[in-house]
Structure 1
Amino acid sequence: MTYRTWMAFIGLLTVLVLGSCGLPAEDQPHRVELPRRALTSPASQGPTTEPPGEVVEVLCLVRDGRLVQTVRRVGAAPTPQRQAEHLAAGPTEVERATGLTTALATTSLTVDVPAGGTEARVDVAETDESNARSDETIAYGQIVCTLTSRADVSSVVFTRAGEVLQVPRADGSLSRGPLRADDYASLIAPS
């Protein structure tokens, strides 16, 4: 084989190897679902400028009637209960200045995730029924989207005094759960 023939053969072989990834060609594009990694799950992201020991905490707050994921830096990974308390406390002064609010003012939540499980059970304290809320769907969406942003929570069920509650989803239907962030996707503001 001559040098030119050998180089042509290597070039052709390279094109064939690089052009074949093992998947057949498709006529139509299709949606690919990538695995979602929660922002709070550990992952090596290379060197950071963050102080050691800081972790992110995702809270779903509200702006213009839409859910907005907000990332806060906290000293240690919060428990689901602590994260729910941060959510119920509402936006910080800086977050309020950017137009963020909450539909959970004066809401008392108790969160339990049984050991080895990924379903959070959220007990919602009795509210004054004469004080109806128009933002109830947003409030439940805030809780579900916040808790399911965690790597250790995949779904949420709401209870009151041990009884499972029917709560509104974004489409207006009622559900006894388990609920996921997808149930409120139409209320989540684009990033």
Structure 2
Amino acid sequence: MLSGARRRHPDPGRPGGPRWPRWPSLRRTVLVAAAGVLALAGCGVSAEQVPREVTPPQGPFPAVGSPAPAATESGTVIQRLCYVRDDRLVVVNRRVRALPTAREQIELLLDGPVGGEQDDRLTSALTGVNVVTDVRVADGEATVAVGERLAGTGRNDEVLAFGQIVCTLTSRADVDRVAFVQGGQRLGVPRADGSLSTAPLTAADYAAMVSPR
């Protein structure tokens, strides 16, 4: 054996030789893992030993900055009835599940004010029996058959009574004018100005008597 010769270590790259770990690569891996743990700790998130499945929230999600949808009252429609206060016509809005027929709407009008409407001092000129006996609608015209209670004399209470019917029915989308019959014949009906008319009437014929709510 030569005393001056250097001892050779086995070559890790040579086949059959031992493989030594690459220290620089291992050190980088440890540093990256430690940095991830510190980042989680800084965010208030604790590291977990066992991975777990996270269930994502259900969509759809609103767009950022979009306004919240306004609350709406669904399932109701507005019907208008016309009553009386201080010798003036007052339009009342009621919310109902479905819009009634013209005949049903007149029946509600004949029933008179209810609840808070009475508290608001509303009354009706449509009193007594056989005031209205029939209501039919065709081609935008409502034909109302009235009893002897409404004779078309032009009294103030009659003007209000006819005005209630005309203003109520013409608030409907399917009615723009109202004609009155009695005993199968056209009836002369007093308008707001006191004149009688056998022609179909509109809300404009009683506009001067309508009081602001």
1:101–1:164 CA distance, 2 compared to 1 (3 A): same
Aligned pairs (5 A) from 1:1-191:
47-50=70-73, 52-106=74-128, 107-114=131-138, 117-127=139-149, 134-191=156-213
Distance 2:105 2:124 in 1: 14
Quick check: 2:166–2:201 contact (8 Å CA) kept in 1?
yes
Q: Which has the higher contact order (CA 8 A, sep 6+)?
A: 1
Report deviation, 1:126.
2.4
C-alpha displacement at 1:83, in angstroms?
0.6
For structure 2, which runs of at least 5 residues remain unmatched after alignment?
Answer: 1-68
| Residue 105 of structure 1, CA deviation | 1.4
Q: Deviations over 1:133-153 (max 9, x none)?
A: 640000000000000011110
Code of the residue aligned with 1:110 in structure 2: it is: D
The one-letter code matched in structure 2 to 1:84 is: I
Whichever of the two has the greater Rg, that structure is 2
Report the identity percentage.
51
- TM-aligned CA deviation for residue 53 of structure 1: 1.9
Q: Which runs of 5+ in 1 are unaligned?
A: 1-45
TM-score by length of 2: 0.62
SS at match of 1:100: coil
Is 1:84–1:109's contact at 8 Å kept on the other side of the alignment? Answer: no
- Is the 1:85–1:109 Cα contact (8 Å) retained in structure 2? no
Tell me the matched-pair count.
Answer: 141
Q: 1:3-54: per-residue Cα shift (whole Å, max 9, x none)? A: xxxxxxxxxxxxxxxxxxxxxxxxxxxxxxxxxxxxxxxxxxx95532x321
- Report the CA distance between 1:93 and its aligned residue: 2.3
Counterparts of 2:70 and 2:163, CA distance in 1: 34
Q: Is the 8 A contact 2:167 2:203 kept in 1?
A: yes
Asked if 2 retains the 8 angstrom alpha-carbon contact of 1:157 and 1:177, the reply is yes
Q: Check the 8 A contact 2:132/2:144 in 1, yes or no.
A: no
